[in-house]
Amino acid sequence: MSNQPRRQGPPSGGPGGPKMVGKPVSVNKNTVKRLLSYFSNYKLHMILVFVFIITSAVASVMASLFLQTLIDGYVTPMLGANSSVGFSDLAMALVKMGCLYVCGALSGLFYSRIMASVSQGILKKIRDKMFAHMQTLPIKYFDSHNFGDTMSHYTNDTDSLRQMLAQSVPQAMSSIVTIVSVFFSMLRQSVWLTLIVIAFLFIIFKAMGFIGGKSSKYFVKQQKSVADVNSYIEEMVNGQKVVKVFCYEDKSKAEFDRRNNELFNNMRKANSYGNIVGPVMNNLGYILYVILAIVGGLLAIKSIPNLSLTAGINTLTLGTIASFLTLSRSFVQPISQVSQQINAIAMAMAGAERIFALIDEAPEADDGYVTLVNAKYDADGNITESEERTGQWAWKHPHSDGTLEYIPLKGNVVLDDVDFAYVEGKTVLHNVSLYAEPGQKVAFVGATGAGKTTITNLINRFYDIADGKIRYDGININKIKKADLRRSMGIVLQDVNLFTGTVMENIRYGKLDATDEECIAAAKLANADGFIRMLPQGYNTVLEGDGSGLSQGQRQLISIARAAVADPPVMILDEATSSIDTRTEAIVQSGMDALMKGRTVFVIAHRLSTVQNSDVIMVLEQGRIIERGSHEKLIAEKGKYYQLYTGAFELE
Tell me the domains of the chain and their CATH numbers: 29-359 (1.20.1560.10), 371-408 (no CATH), 500-567 (no CATH)
Predicted confidence (pLDDT) per residue in 82-103, tens digit? 566 667 777 887 888 888 888 8
Answer whether residue 128 shows pLDDT above 90: yes
Answer whether residue 308 shows pLDDT above 60: no
State mean pLDDT over 560-589. 76
Band of residue 129 on the pLDDT scale cut at 50, 70, 90:
very high
Burial 576-597 (b: 16+ CB within 10 A, else e): bbeebeeebbebbbebbeebbe
| Contact between 182 and 194 (Cβ < 8 Å) | no
Answer whether residue 313 shows pLDDT above 50: no
Answer whether residue 190 shows pLDDT above 50: yes
Quick one: 36 exposed, middle or buried, by C-beta within 10 A (0-12, 13-18, 19+)? exposed
pTM, rounded to two decimals: 0.71
Predicted confidence (pLDDT) per residue in 377-416, tens digit? 887 878 888 888 777 889 999 988 888 889 998 888 999 9
Greatest mean pLDDT range, 77-91, 236-250, 528-542: 528-542
Strands 393-398 and 383-385: unpaired
Write down how long the chain is: 652
* Phi, then psi, of 281 in degrees rounded to 5: -65, -40
Single-letter code of the amino acid located at 142: F
CA distance 633 to 617: 10
The residues, ordered by sequence, that sit 6+ positions from 344 with a Cβ below 8 Å of its Cβ are 13, 19, 20, 163, 164, 168
Band of residue 294 on the pLDDT scale cut at 50, 70, 90:
confident
Planar angle of CA 62, 64, 67, nearest 5 degrees: 105
State mean pLDDT over 164-185. 85
How far, in Å, are 94, 527, 559 from residue 504 at the CA level?
Answer: 70, 15, 12
Band of residue 233 on the pLDDT scale cut at 50, 70, 90:
confident
CA distance 567 to 588: 18
Predicted confidence (pLDDT) per residue in 508-536, tens digit? 988 888 899 999 988 888 888 889 999 98
Quick one: 108 exposed, middle or buried, by C-beta within 10 A (0-12, 13-18, 19+)? buried
First to last CA, the chain: 15
- Least reliable range by pLDDT among 2-16, 142-156, 472-486, 487-501: 2-16
Q: What percent of the chain has pLDDT over 90?
A: 12
Answer whether residue 476 shows pLDDT above 90: yes
Q: 485 vs 274, which has greater pLDDT?
A: 485
Band of residue 640 on the pLDDT scale cut at 50, 70, 90:
confident
Alpha-helix runs per DSSP H in 391-470: 452-459
Q: Calculate the CA dihedral of residues 59, 60, 62, 64 and round it to 10 degrees.
A: 160
Band of residue 13 on the pLDDT scale cut at 50, 70, 90:
very low
Strand partners, 433: none
CA distance 405 to 168: 61
Band of residue 248 on the pLDDT scale cut at 50, 70, 90:
confident
Average pLDDT, the chain: 80
Single-letter code of the amino acid located at 539: Y
Single-letter code of the amino acid located at 306: N
Q: What percent of the chain has pLDDT over 70?
A: 82
* Phi, then psi, of 495 in degrees rounded to 5: -90, 110
- Least reliable range by pLDDT among 133-137, 448-452, 465-469: 448-452
